[in-house]
Amino acid sequence: MIQTLIKNNDFAGKYVAMKSFEDSTVVGYGESPKEASDKAKEKGYKEPVIAFLPSKDTVQIY
Cβ atoms of 4 and 51 closer than 8 Å: yes
Distance CA 12, CA 47 (A): 22
What confidence score (pLDDT) does residue 53 get? 86
Average pLDDT, the chain: 86
What confidence score (pLDDT) does residue 21 get? 86
User: How confident is residue 17, by pLDDT bands cut at 50, 70 and 90?
Assistant: very high
User: How confident is residue 10, by pLDDT bands cut at 50, 70 and 90?
Assistant: confident
**How many angstroms separate the Cα of 12 from the Cα of each of 42, 45, 47, 54?**
22, 22, 22, 5
Q: In the predicted model, is pLDDT for residue 48 greater than 90?
A: yes
User: How confident is residue 31, by pLDDT bands cut at 50, 70 and 90?
Assistant: very high
